[in-house]
Structures are given as structure tokens and as C-alpha cells.
């Protein structure tokens, strides 16, 4: 008996199809179209200016900054969050009881709004905060959000705080799927301590680790709230992410045409970077024989 579900299938997928036309395909084409105009988001008429927007974007220092800032955030955020998530996962996994209680606790920061965490950090690092007063007492003064390296570091730290528990959950799930017999067999062969971690746990953790790394790299392309609240992209574009740049060009400077061109460049940069990162991670795994 062969069932013909054609109509039913299309009916059930129709919400997605409708959405993808109205909120994906039309905007996509519109975005291409806008990027070749000098429209300012308000005036009724505008001109086609060919590739001028793209030329201008490629020469713009703030776009250069947005391009590099993503990778700088990766350098801060990805190692920080992977190490922290790994520590939390291994630690929690070794607890015989109350595992889920701890995991759920570590997951709490993921529920916070970027606005709230930015607010807390701003208060915590304000000029007369206990942290800064005690630092000044020993002769250290850092303008945390007004110095390029520290502003980058602070935003990276907030994100790492937020995502650690989430990634630790993923890692714990893959730790729990490791067969205990592997460890017992290794113990008979005399594999212990550090060696045990590096030669057994880490390789078997690779699938979970791969997922968290891909997710973490992806996060760095979408940073907006923390940067918008805390630094506005500054100081001197040191934290000017793609989203921040597009938002300021479109909705602050009202250059919709130009901002669409920047968004296209951002999409291309994101797409290529994620592709390369995936390939590199797969190569890394294959080279070590983990896949």
C-alpha cells in the first residue's frame, strides 16, 4: 500500500515555506538590490551607484576593524570557554552524586540577558568599585572598558561566563557515553593520571568537543548586545563587531544602501570563515585519529 501524502506534506511544511519566502528570500534579494544604491532609509528616491558601496566599505577603517575584531574575539573567547567548559564537565562528571544539580547551577548564566550581564559588569568595574579601589591601592589602574585590550577581554569574559555551563552540559553528555571498560583495560596496561586524560578521555570526547567548538566559533560572528551596551564598538573600534557596524551604519548613520553592502561582506566573511574552521577542526581530528 503506497500512501500519497503530497498535499498533507506541503500543508504541514507550509508555515516554513511562507516564512522563508517573506523573511528570507525577499529580504535576501532586497539586500542585494539595496547594496547597489545610495538609499538613506528615509528619502523616497535614490540612485544606483554600482559597486561604490563595496569600494567604500573595503576602504573603511571601521569595516577593517569589524573584520579583525571577530578573530580577536575568537582568540579570547574560544580558548577561555573551551577550557572552562572542559574543567566544569570533567569536575562534575567525577562527582558521584548531585551531578545534575551542579550542572543546572552552572547553566544558570546562560539564561541571563546580555543587557543584564553588561549592567552588572559595568557596575562591577566602575571607577569606585571595590575591585578598582583595591587595584589602585597596589598601584594598578586600568580603565577596563576604555582600553582596547581590556575591553576585548571583558566582553570575551562575559560571553565565556554565559556559555560555559551550556557547553559543559554537551561535554558531560559525551563523557557519560564513554564506556568505563576502556578505562579498566587501560588501567591494566598501566595507563594512569594525566596520560589517561590525554590518550583516552580527550580523543573519545572529540565529537562533543567538536560540537562545542563549532558553536563557540559561531558565537563570535553574532556579538552585539554586550558590545552595544558596554563599549558602543569602541575604544577606537577595538570591539566593533560586524553586527555593531551594520547596526550603526543602517540605523544611526541611516545609510541603508551602504550598510547592506557591509552586511553582504559580513555574510561572505562569516560563511568562508566558518567553512575553513570546520575543515581545520575535521583535519585536526583526523590527523590525531579521533574521528
Partner 1 sequence: MVGSKNNKRTRLVILYSLASILLLVMVYPYLYMVLNSFADWKQVDKKLIPTSYTLQSYSWLFTGGESGIARPWLGAFFNSVIVSLASTALMMLFAVMVAYALSKLKFRGRDTVNNFILFHMFFPSIILLIPSFLIIQKLGWYDTYWALIIPKGMSLWAIFMYTNFFKAVPTVFIEAAKLDGAKDFQILYRVMIPMSKSITSVIFLFLLMERWTELLWDMIMVQNDNMLTLNVLLSQMFGPYATYPGPLYAGSVLLSLPIIILFIIFGKNFQQGMQVSLK
Which 137-166 residues touch partner 1, going by CB under 8 A?
A: 161, 164-165
Q: How many CB atoms lie within 10 A of CB 123?
A: 9
With contact defined as beta carbons under 8 Å apart, do 155 and 234 qualify?
Answer: no
The C-alpha cell at 191 is 595507563
Q: Which is nearer to partner 1, 44 or 289 (CB)?
A: 44
- State the angle between helix axes of 61-93 and 148-176 in degrees (0 to 180), rounded to the nearest 10: 40
For residue 228, give the nearest of 145, 166, 147 by alpha carbon.
145
Which helix H or strand E contains 195, and what residues bound it? helix 193-196
| Alpha carbons 154 and 144: distance in angstroms, whole number | 8
- If one asks whether residue 9 binds partner 1 (CB under 8 A), the answer comes out as yes
Say whether 238 sits in a helix, a strand or coil.
Answer: coil
- If one asks whether residue 205 binds partner 1 (CB under 8 A), the answer comes out as no
Interface stretch with partner 1, choices 100-108, 183-191, 195-203, 281-289 (CB under 8 A):
100-108
Interface stretch with partner 1, choices 53-61, 127-135, 137-145, 184-192 (CB under 8 A):
127-135
Interface residues for partner 1 in 107-126 (CB under 8 A)? 107-124, 126
Interface residues for partner 1 in 65-94 (CB under 8 A)? 87-88, 91-92, 94
Binding footprint of partner 1, residue count (CB under 8 A): 91
Task: Please select the residue that binds partner 1; options are 23, 48, 68, 197, rule is CB under 8 A.
Answer: 23
Q: Which is nearer to partner 1, 132 or 238 (CB)?
A: 132
- If one asks whether residue 272 binds partner 1 (CB under 8 A), the answer comes out as no
With contact defined as beta carbons under 8 Å apart, do 220 and 77 qualify?
Answer: yes
- If one asks whether residue 8 binds partner 1 (CB under 8 A), the answer comes out as yes
Task: Please select the residue that binds partner 1; options are 73, 77, 106, 237, rule is CB under 8 A.
Answer: 106
- If one asks whether residue 49 binds partner 1 (CB under 8 A), the answer comes out as no
Interface residues for partner 1 in 219-248 (CB under 8 A)? 221-222, 224-225, 228-229, 242-243, 246-247
Q: Is 94 exposed, middle or buried (0-12, 13-18, 19+ CB in 10 A)?
A: exposed
By residue count, the chain amounts to: 291
Amino acid at each position: 500500500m503506497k500512501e500519497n501524502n503530497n498535499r498533507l506534506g506541503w500543508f504541514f511544511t507550509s508555515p516554513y515555506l511562507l516564512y522563508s519566502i517573506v523573511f528570507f528570500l525577499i529580504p535576501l534579494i532586497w539586500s542585494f538590490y539595496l547594496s547597489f544604491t545610495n538609499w538613506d532609509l528615509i528619502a523616497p528616491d535614490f540612485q544606483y551607484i554600482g559597486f561604490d558601496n563595496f569600494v567604500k566599505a573595503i576602504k573603511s577603517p571601521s569595516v577593517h576593524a569589524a573584520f579583525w575584531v571577530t578573530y580577536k574575539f575568537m582568540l579570547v573567547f574560544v580558548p577561555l570557554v573551551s577550557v572552562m567548559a572542559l574543567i566544569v564537565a570533567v569536575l562534575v562528571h567525577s562527582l558521584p552524586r548531585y551531578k545534575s544539580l551542579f550542572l543546572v547551577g552552572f547553566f544558570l548564566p546562560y539564561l541571563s540577558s546580555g543587557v543584564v550581564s553588561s549592567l552588572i559588569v559595568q557596575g562591577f568595574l566602575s571607577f569606585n568599585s571595590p575591585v578598582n579601589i583595591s587595584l589602585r591601592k597596589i598601584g594598578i589602574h586600568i580603565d577596563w572598558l576604555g582600553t582596547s585590550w581590556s575591553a576585548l577581554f571583558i566582553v570575551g569574559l562575559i560571553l565565556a561566563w554565559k556559555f560555559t555551563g551550556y557547553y559543559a552540559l554537551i561535554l558531560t553528555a559525551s563523557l557519560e557515553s564513554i564506556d568505563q571498560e576502556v578505562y579498566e583495560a587501560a588501567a591494566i596496561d598501566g595507563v594512569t593520571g594525566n596520560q589517561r586524560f590525554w590518550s583516552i578521555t580527550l580523543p573519545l570526547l572529540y565529537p562533543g568537543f567538536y560540537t562545542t567548538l563549532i558553536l563557540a566559533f559561531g558565537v563570535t560572528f553574532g556579538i552585539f548586545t554586550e558590545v552595544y551596551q558596554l563599549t558602543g564598538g569602541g575604544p577606537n573600534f577595538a570591539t566593533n563587531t560586524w553586527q555593531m557596524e551594520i547596526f550603526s551604519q543602517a540605523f544611526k548613520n541611516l545609510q541603508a544602501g551602504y550598510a547592506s553592502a557591509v552586511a553582504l561582506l559580513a555574510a561572505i566573511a562569516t560563511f568562508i570563515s566558518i567553512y575553513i574552521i570546520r575543515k581545520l577542526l575535521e583535519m585536526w581530528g583526523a590527523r590525531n585519529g579521533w574521528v
